[in-house]
Structure formats: C-alpha cells, structure tokens
Amino acid sequence: MEVLTQLLGRLHPLIVHLPIGFIILGLLMLCYYRKQHTYPEAVNIIFLWGGYTALLACFTGYLQYLGEGYAFDTVKLHLWSGIITALFSFLMYARLKKLKLVHFLTKIPVVTLSILTLALISFTGHQGGNITHGADYLVEPLPNNIKEALGFETFEEKKIVLSENNWENALLYDDVIKPILNNSCVSCHNPKKIKGGLLLHNEVGILEGGENGSILIAEDATKSDLFVRMNLPLEDEAHMPPEGKKQPSKEEIKLVGAWINAGHPFEGTVQESGLEKELFTSFFPNEQTYDYPQIEIPAATLDSILLVKRTGVHVDPISKSTTFLRVSCLNKPSFADADFETLLPIANNIAILDLGNTQITDTIFEKLIQLPHLTVLKMDHTSISGKDIALLKILQHLKSINLTGSNFEQEYLNDFADFTNLKQLYLYKTKVNPNTTSTLNRDDIHIDYGNYTLPPIPSDSIIY
C-alpha cells in the first residue's frame, strides 16, 4: 500500500498540469465568445473537467506531501488554494449552465468569476513552484541587491577557509562540518522540507536521525548513514545528496568521516579532536597573485584605446573588475623601439605588455619606464641583451619578466637584485648559465630555465 501511495504521489507533477490546461483553455474560449450571450457546451464541459482534475491533483499532491517529507506549513497554502481553485472551476461550470441549484451565481458576472479563477490558478501554480524550486527560483538570476530590494533573502554558499597558522583553533563543527552540511544537505533537510524525516540544520536534528533511524554511529564512519551515503556512486538511488544537487568534495567527505570517527563532537576545536593537519590543507587560502596593481585609476578613454588599436596593436581589458589593460604586439612583429610612442595615450593603464617576437632592442628600457603600472613584461624571442635593464627597477609594480629565447646575457643577471617586487623571471634559451643563479642573491625571485623532463606515457609511442 505504501508503494502505491508513493507512486500516486509522484504522479502529481504530471496530473497538476491537467487542470491548468482545462481552466486556461476554458478562459480563452470565454474570451473568444465574449460578445455572445451563450457559450458552446464544450466550454461548460471544459470547466467541469477542470474541476475534476483539480481535485485529482489535490489528492495526488496530498499523497506526495505524505511521502516526500514536506512540513505541512510548507504545503498548506498550495493545498488549500488548489481546493479553492477546483471549487471555482465547478462554479464556472454551474454559472455557465445556469443551474437552478446555484441560481445566485447568475447575479455574478462571468467576467468577474473568470478573473478570480485565473488569479487562483496562477497563485496556486506559483505556490507549487515555490515548493518544488524554492521561493526565490524566479528571482535567482537577479543580482543580490535587487533580490534584497524585492524582499527576498539572499543566500551565499559559506566557504570553508582556515588559517594555515591557526587551523588547530578552528571550531570543528561550527567552522568546518556545519558549512559542509549547510552547502550540500540542508536544502532538503530543513524545517520547511524534512525529506526522510531528517533534519540537518542543527545538532538536535542530526542526533535524532530520520525515518530510518540514526545517521551517526559514534566513532565508526563506515556504519554511519551520513558518511556511507555520501560515498555511494552518484548513480545509486541511495546516494546523498541526490544527483543534480551540489555534491560535497572528496576532502569534505573525508572530513565528515573523520569527524564521526572522532565521536562527532559539536563543541571543541580541531586540536581537541586530534585530527591531522593533512585533512585541512585543502581549505587553507591560496595566496592570490594579480597581473595588475590592486589600486583604482581612471579608465583610459575609448578614443585613446582606438587610437592605439589602429596601429595594429591589440588592446583589451584584463578583467571587468579593473581599468588596467593588456597590450600585445602579437599581430605586429614589426614593432620597434620607435613605435613605443604609439602606446603613450594609454600608458597609465598598461599592466601587461607583450613585446615578444618584435624588433625591440635595449633602447626600449628607457621608454618602458613611462609605464608606471607595468606588472607583466614579455620580451621573449627578441634581440634584448639586458644592457640598461636596471632602469626598470623604478617600476614598483613589475612582477614578471619573460626573456625566453632572447640574447639576454649573464653579466646583467644581478641587475634584478634591486627590483623591489619582481617574483618571476623566464630565462630559458638565453645566455645565462643556470648554475650561476646564486649571483642574484634574491631567494624570492623564481627563475625559470625550462628544460623540464616529463615521464613517458603510453600515447607517446602511438603513430598517427
């Protein structure tokens, strides 16, 4: 019997479209025949069937509510508005048929009943959509500030970020486990939608378990339903969260298992739980590096950008969040020292400059100092030898210089010692001997000499 109930309940999303179709069709036909005093019998039958199917939809919806674990407060408005919609469909039938049993309806204009019925079917359908997709489904694509202005609560996924220097003092449940459950589980296991009778939004619900009993077996993750279901194949029906929902990462699942094995404490720090650092390293923040200065400057004018582009040089914004520009001479290999003047209209906004495979010489260095925000400089496969490259030390934002395949000479290597923020040098296929890096005396500058050795893989031997 329970199987039949669940089956009928799951037919609700199919059946619910029948009354919507009948009622909308009936209303359209009324609109079409509005100038006539009588309506075709087909219109009456349509509203009659609209009422019958609306009742059937209410019945299957109630069965779905029983089987899917929704809280009654969540579905009651949808259920009652559905019943009233069915009633109004029958009233439309009675009004059009002018039944003596409800002769008082003749005093109500058909257009009034039609508007009320349309409003009811729209409201009922909207409430059903809220249950299935969430109350903010329609406004979800909108920016948060607009959603807030419309009165909708904005939800942002809480990321787990632990300090590498203080990870032991993080609260194991509040700072680690709770965000995992909130991000991947609570959408289906909360007071408004209690799937499987299970609540995961707080400690009480987690400990109580669901319809199938406890989900936690102290100090044994392999027997705990919470952990076991997360590890099932995604295509397995018992896998949680179900396919289509946000899945926890492998690292997050490992942490849930480790938490259970530690006795699933709801209080205390990571250190007190005795968990190893390796479990948390993936949640340490990575130091983010930018290819442009983290300051705000006025944007270059469109006219000045177009002026530079007309010379054959490519110019584009680095990102939407900054006014700094990326400039490339990829399509202008004839670019020479004298052509640098053409870049001056946008000099203040250039953060990335690619002069690779061009005709520039060491003379370019006295010109490059006119780019105060230059961060990434590419001069690969040019005749650059490095003479006067020390002039660039005044560029406080310069982080990366690529000299691969150029004529850069060993004697100028130590000039980079005075480059305040330089972090990366590319010297592959230059005249610098890789064994003399110690002369630079800057451990914070990473020098890339190339010549990587990669292990062979089977596909290397395939002949195409």
273-300: burial string, b at 16+ Cβ within 10 Å, e else:
bebeeebbeebeeeeeeeebbeeeeebb
Specify the pLDDT at position 163. Answer: 83
Whether residues 7 and 145 share a domain: the answer is yes
411 shares a domain with 343: yes
Question: Quick one: 171 and 138 in the same domain?
Answer: no
Considering the domain boundaries, does residue 33 fall inside one? yes
Residue 276 lies in a domain: yes
Residue at 311 is within a domain? yes
Identify the pLDDT of residue 158: 72
Residue 61 shares a structural domain with residue 119: yes
Q: Is residue 292 part of a domain?
A: no
14 plus 145 within the same structural domain = yes
The answer to whether the CB of 295 falls within 8 A of the CB of 348 is no
Question: Looking at the domain assignment, is residue 424 inside a domain?
Answer: yes
Provide the residue range defining the domain that includes 358: 302-448
Same domain, 175 and 125: no
Per-residue pLDDT at 463: 44
Shared domain check, 439 and 333: yes
Q: Same domain for 322 and 275?
A: no
pLDDT of residue 148: 67
Whether 35 maps to a domain, the answer reads yes
- Cα–Cα distance for residue pair 343/243, rounded to 1 Å: 53
Domain edge (last residue) among 120, 149, 178:
149
Phi, psi of 111 (to 5 degrees): -65, -35
- What is the mean pLDDT of each successive set of 10 residues along the chain, which is 464 residues long? 81 92 94 82 93 94 81 85 94 85 79 92 88 68 69 64 86 92 83 77 89 88 92 87 84 93 92 90 70 88 94 92 92 94 96 96 96 95 94 94 94 90 91 71 82 48 42
Q: What is the pLDDT of residue 141?
A: 67
Determine the pLDDT at residue 192: 65
Residue 294 lies in a domain: no
Q: Decide: 185 and 196 in contact? Cβ < 8 Å.
A: no
- Do 198 and 115 lie in one domain? The reply is no
Per-residue pLDDT at 116: 94
> Total domain count for the chain?
3
Can you give the pLDDT at residue 198? 86
pLDDT of residue 221: 92
Q: Does residue 239 lie in a domain region?
A: yes
pLDDT, position 454: 44
Do 40 and 139 lie in a common domain?
A: yes
The CATH number of whichever domain residue 416 belongs to comes to 3.80.10.10
Looking at the fold, whether 29 and 143 belong to one and the same domain comes out as yes
Last residue of a domain, one of 121, 149, 177: 149
pLDDT for res 87: 94
Using the 3D structure, point to which of 283, 318, 352 is the last residue of a domain. Answer: 283
- Residues 121 and 72 placed together within one structural domain of the fold: yes
pLDDT at 436: 62
